[in-house]
């Protein structure tokens, strides 16, 4: 099953890169800033066909075509292109995210950044890797030594004001910086390999974090919701970290 996930991510990455180099982007818009491009659609088709070819009975949950629920205990959770806004604007920060869940628990997570040719991968209880090398979270244990990442959901109302307020509070704690990469899956993977020490976002869909969350946990990190509640695929908002600064992040996020 891991092989299938890797194969699907690799094929999808090739499709995305092809569109990227040909400058083909938005074909339709969900709203003014939530875009869907031909790359999202074709990447998703390829991933679904690769999975169905091997595992026709498994359930599938994807961003663009919704869900296909069977009575299988396995469910693939797919974001065919995480970071569509970046892709559209030619900002080279996006990825393919594929996860396999069994009875609601993560088994396999694969996140592939085709621009940097970086493949993040994890299997339950087998650790996490970046291009086949084991990765671990950072050892930073203070907010004033940390680099954080923040994501914003597409809505520009209450949630955005809340996120901006939280950002201000983290800056008052003298964090080294706060980045907004535009790809939730990469935010989680970057936390997994120590490029970030923590990341939070107030509204996400399961496909944004299904794979990245396992990669982070297998790299020794921690992920909860922003109230500190235990991770599951439906939490819908995330506080993710190297574990050591988690309680300090939650102190701010629960205010």
Site for Ca ion (CB under 5 A): which residue of 42, 63, 187, 197? 63
Residues 152-211 that bind Ca ion (CB under 5 A): 208
Q: Are 120 and 110 in contact (CB under 8 A)?
A: yes
- Region of 95 please: left (phi>0), alpha (psi -120 to 50) or beta: beta
Q: How far is the CB of 79 from Ca ion (least distance, A)?
A: 4
Q: How far is the CB of 89 from ligand IPD (least distance, A)?
A: 11
Nearer to Ca ion, 170 or 209 (CB): 209
Is 82 known to sit in a ligand binding site?
Answer: yes
Nearer to Ca ion, 138 or 213 (CB): 213
What, of Ca ion, ligand IPD, none, does residue 153 touch, CB below 5 to 8 Å by kind? Answer: ligand IPD
d(Cα 39, Cα 18) in Å, to the nearest integer? 9
Is 197 known to sit in a ligand binding site?
Answer: no
What, of Ca ion, ligand IPD, none, does residue 83 touch, CB below 5 to 8 Å by kind? Answer: ligand IPD
Nearer to ligand IPD, 149 or 217 (CB): 149
For 142-155, letters b (16+ CB in 10 Å) and e give: ebeebbbbbbbbee
Residue 123 within binding range of Ca ion, rule CB under 5 A: no
DSSP 31-69: SSSSEEEHHHHHHHHHHHHHHHHH-TTSEEEETTTEEE-
Among candidate residues 160, 253, 157, the one with its CA nearest the CA of residue 198: 253
d(Cα 49, Cα 117) in Å, to the nearest integer? 23
CA-based R_g, the chain, Å: 17
Cβ-Cβ contacts under 8 Å for 108 (sequence gap 6 or more): 1, 2, 5, 99, 100, 121, 122, 123, 124, 211, 214
Is 40 known to sit in a ligand binding site?
Answer: no
Residue with tokens 């996020």: 253
Q: Candidates 67-75, 80-88, 104-112, 190-198 — which segment interacts with Ca ion by CB under 5 A?
A: 80-88
Give contact residues for ligand IPD (rule: CB under 6 A). Answer: 79, 82-85, 151-153, 182-184, 201, 204, 208
Residue 225 within binding range of Ca ion, rule CB under 5 A: no
Q: How far is the CB of 139 from ligand IPD (least distance, A)?
A: 26
Nearer to Ca ion, 63 or 218 (CB): 63
Binding site: residue ranges? Answer: 63, 79, 81-82, 208
Binding site for Mg(2+): residue ranges? Answer: 63, 79, 81-82, 208
By the criterion CB under 5 A, which residues form the site for Ca ion? 63, 79, 81-82, 208
């Amino acid at each position: 099953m891991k092989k299938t996930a890797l194969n699907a991510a690799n094929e999808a990455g090739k499709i995305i890169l092809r569109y990227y180099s040909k400058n083909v982007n938005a074909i339709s818009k969900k709203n003014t800033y939530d875009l869907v491009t031909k790359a999202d659609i074709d990447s998703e088709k390829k991933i679904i066909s690769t999975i169905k070819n091997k595992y026709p009975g498994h359930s599938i949950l994807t961003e663009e075509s919704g869900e296909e629920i069977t009575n299988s205990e396995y469910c693939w959770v797919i974001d065919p292109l995480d970071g569509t806004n970046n892709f559209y604007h030619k900002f080279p920060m996006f990825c393919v995210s594929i996860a396999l869940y069994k009875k609601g628990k993560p088994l396999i997570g694969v996140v592939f950044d085709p621009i940097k040719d970086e493949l993040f991968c994890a299997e339950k209880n087998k650790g996490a890797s970046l291009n086949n090398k084991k990765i671990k979270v950072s050892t930073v244990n203070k907010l004033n030594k940390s680099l954080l990442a923040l994501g914003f959901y597409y809505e520009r109302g209450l949630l955005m004001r809340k996120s901006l307020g939280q950002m201000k509070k983290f800056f008052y704690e003298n964090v080294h910086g706060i980045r907004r990469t535009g790809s939730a899956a990469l935010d989680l993977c970057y936390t997994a390999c120590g490029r970030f020490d923590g990341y939070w976002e107030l509204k996400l869909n399961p496909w944004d974090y299904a794979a990245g969350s396992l990669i982070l946990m297998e790299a020794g990190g921690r992920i909860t919701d922003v109230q500190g509640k235990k991770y599951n695929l439906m939490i819908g908002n995330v506080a993710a970290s190297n574990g050591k600064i988690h309680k300090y992040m939650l102190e701010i996020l629960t205010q």
